[in-house]
Amino acid sequence: DIQMTQSPSSLSASVGDRVTITCRASQSISSYLNWYQQKPGKAPKLLIYAASSLQSGVPSRFSGSGSGTDFTLTISSLQPEDFATYYCQQSYSTPRGFTFGPGTKVDIK
């Protein structure tokens, strides 16, 4: 199984800050990496797919990068609505067996 890790597990930031979250895979997954945002009591929402492609309707302050084993999600200027937990997910495993990272909680400093 491909294991996913994220760092940090949580962070505190202020509105306007640039935030970077890291995701690491236990083996190379090329660009088969997605990012989701989850707010309390809500379902996850797709932000980024294929490591760097912005999902339609997602603000451009979100961006993704990386390939192989190391990936980052960047929020260029944190907005009040961005306080949430962020998960990465690999879609490399075939047949299916997609796994998620443990999440990074972004809260208000």
Q: Which of residues 27-66 bind another protein (CB under 8 A)?
A: 30-32, 34, 36, 42-46, 49-50, 53, 55
| Residues in CB range of 29: below 8 A, 6 or more apart | 2, 68, 69, 90, 92
Q: How far apart are CA 86 and CA 22, in angstroms?
A: 10
Judged by CB, which is closer to another protein: 68, or 103?
103
* 100 is a site residue for another protein (CB under 8 A): yes
* 103 is a site residue for another protein (CB under 8 A): yes
| Candidate segments 18-26, 66-74, 76-84, 101-109, binder of another protein by CB under 8 A | 101-109
